[in-house]
Structure 1
Amino acid sequence: MYYVAHRLFAAHDRALAARLAQRVADKIGPENVFLPFCDTNEEDLVAEVKGRRLFELDRERLGNLTGMIAILHGPSLDDGVCMEMGYAYALGVPVIVVTTDFQTYSMAAAGPRLEFPDPIVQAAATHVVRVARLADEQSAGAAKTRFEAFADRNASQLDWALEAAVEELLGLPARRPATASPCAGAEKVAFVEQSPYLAWQGALTAFAPAAGYVLRTPGRFTAPDPVLAAHQDLTDALAADVLIADVSGPETPPGAALLIGAASACGTRIAAYQPRLTFTHAHGREPNWRNLMIQYASSTHLSDPATLDEWLRS
């Protein structure tokens, strides 16, 4: 089964994902492709707790994958897609990321260029297909206006990116050995992923040692080689007994989302820390305090230091 991971919340995102899914289906058959929202019948699904049911349906597919293509654009990466990438990565499933974002990123003006704002996304990807420039003007054909010509150049850019991503995915070995397994050692290890949006949340790191855990924290944001350090962060997080992820921000930060997915695939205890709740609402679905893939993958939601300390000691 091949999984197309994409942002769900706008028609143009869903349409792009459907185009990509159709390209994969044309090569291997539609029965071998899973497209969220479409194949979970999200628009019309009726369930007692609809968000949880959608999570369960997606997780069933995530646990039995041959490969994944993830669509990611812009500096604010979709947290549901990042969660799904982390889940696939932990299980050894190859992940191709496709983007037509013309920007790249760095931790410093002269630092190494990164494909995404958080280097852990690049580290978890098997391959990144980036098409950063419009197709040439000849691809516009006989368009009547400059706007039609511009639209055609963007459409050609998308077509090339989708085809390249499909070819890359289908040319990869089906599955590698899982990256890591939960820690079986004598030490209790806690990995704390802090929100890059809230520097003061550094206080979260004090609670794990006080509760008897060996503390591990990310090194990728200050390392000379951020991608190499991100691989180590993944290794440390996957070997931890608990993951404490601050999910504060406009949406769950991409690193926290990816690590929650990876930890969920390994059966690790996960605390999603978010002091200030905001809710999303969708037709027939319960209010969700984060993307439903984050909300239901997490073992618990914590909103203050006292509850975090209590959870760690339980």
Structure 2
Amino acid sequence: MLYIAHRLFAAHDRALGAMAARILGDAAGNDDNVFLPFCDTDEEDLVADVKGRRLFELDSERLKRLSGMLALLHGPSLDDGVCMEIGFAAALGVPVVALTTDFITYATEPDAPGWSFPDPLIDYLATDVISARMLGTASAEPSQRFTAFEDRNRAQVADAMHAACRRLVGLAQPTQGVRAMPADSQRVAFIESSPYRPSSDDGDGNGGLLRELGYQVITAGRFSARDPLAAAAADWTAATSASLLIADVSGPEAPPGAAAMIGAAVATGRTALAYNPVPAWTFAHGREPNWRNLMIQYGVSGVFSAPADLKGLVRQ
């Protein structure tokens, strides 16, 4: 199963996903092996008692048997559902090809080596990143300048998608399965802070409480590291080896790293708790209210807004 991970709350994003699915199906020689969320879950017409949860179940069922993922990523605020799915695939050893047509890149200093996405963890998790940062060539010489500009943008997207789909078809392989968690990780907790919100290095007191409960606590280091890419690798190894993940989901969306680590926890059966000190609700026709993307909301084992509430969740 080849999985298209893409933002889907706006019509133009769904159209972009459909374009990618069509090209990927052609590259694979069989579009029956391509899964496109929203389209293949019949989301607009789906009726369920709790629609968001049902959509999470349908998407997760495909994620468990995927052989490759094409992730469409654009803008400085990456879609948290897509990042959750990237983490899910990466934790199972499934190749992820990330596609971006953004013309911006990111770094910690003006002259420092950069990366493609706001959080270097996403660069680390991607098996390959296909970037198309310049406009394409117009197919003709339209007399209207806006038509010519539109044509060049379409060419940029199409060229990148064809390259990404060819790459994914060449990489696709079945899941490698879930690795056993080391025995010495049973009382290890990893705290993923939010880059969008000032906080202490232990997550506003969450680390201290966990230590009182007998946990060894490891905190994310890439946001203050001199080499963020190397630190991203270390964060991922630590997070996926710990029995408990505490992910701060503060921000306009759950931060990319938090979302990816939650996806990994879901894929490998580890406990993930969402720290959400400033809740914000979203609403969509036919769905129940969501306090975060449904892949985050139903992927975690619990959510809390103050450290005092964490103790009850950990003891369950």
Q: Which residue of 2 aligns with 1:294?
A: 296
SS at match of 2:42: coil
User: What is the distance in 2 between the residues matched to 1:73 and 1:181?
Assistant: 34
Shift of 1:259: 0.4
1:141-290 superposed matches below 5 A:
141-175=140-174, 177=176, 180-185=179-184, 188-200=187-199, 202-203=203-204, 204-290=206-292
SS at match of 1:200: coil
User: What is the distance in 2 between the residues matched to 1:186 and 1:162?
Assistant: 40
Shift of 1:63: 0.2
Structure 2: give runs of 5+ residues left out of the alignment.
none
- Judged with a 3 Å threshold, the aligned counterparts in structure 2 of structure 1 residues 19 and 186 are, in CA distance, closer, same or farther, namely closer
Q: Which moved more, 1:108-117 or 1:167-176?
A: 167-176
User: What is the distance in 1 between the residues matched to 2:6 and 2:152?
Assistant: 22
Q: Indicate the percent of aligned positions where both proteins have the same amino acid.
A: 54
Structure 1: give runs of 5+ residues left out of the alignment.
none
Verify the 8 A CA contact 1:243 1:269 in the aligned structure 2. Answer: yes
1:49-68 superposed matches below 5 A:
49-68=50-69
TM-score by length of 2: 0.95
Counting matched residue pairs gives 312
SS at match of 2:199: helix
Aligned partner letter, 1:294 = I
Q: Which moved more, 1:198-207 or 1:22-31?
A: 198-207
User: Residue 15 in 1 paired to residue 15 in 2?
Assistant: yes
SS at match of 1:123: helix
Aligned partner letter, 1:130 = S
Aligned partner letter, 1:10 = A
Verify the 8 A CA contact 1:71 1:99 in the aligned structure 2. Answer: yes
SS at match of 1:219: coil
Q: Which moved more, 1:81-90 or 1:201-210?
A: 201-210
- Judged with a 3 Å threshold, the aligned counterparts in structure 2 of structure 1 residues 229 and 177 are, in CA distance, closer, same or farther, namely farther
User: Residue 32 in 1 paired to residue 27 in 2?
Assistant: no
Q: Which moved more, 1:225-234 or 1:242-251?
A: 225-234
Shift of 1:240: 0.5
Shift of 1:221: 1.8
Q: Which residue of 2 aligns with 1:84?
A: 85
User: What is the distance in 2 between the residues matched to 1:128 and 1:310?
Assistant: 41
TM-score by length of 1: 0.96
SS at match of 1:251: coil
Verify the 8 A CA contact 1:243 1:271 in the aligned structure 2. Answer: yes
Shift of 1:276: 2.0
Query: What CA RMSD, in Å, does the superposition of the two structures yield over aligned residues?
Result: 1.5
- Judged with a 3 Å threshold, the aligned counterparts in structure 2 of structure 1 residues 187 and 172 are, in CA distance, closer, same or farther, namely closer
User: What is the distance in 2 between the residues matched to 1:40 and 1:230?
Assistant: 33
Shift of 1:224: 2.7
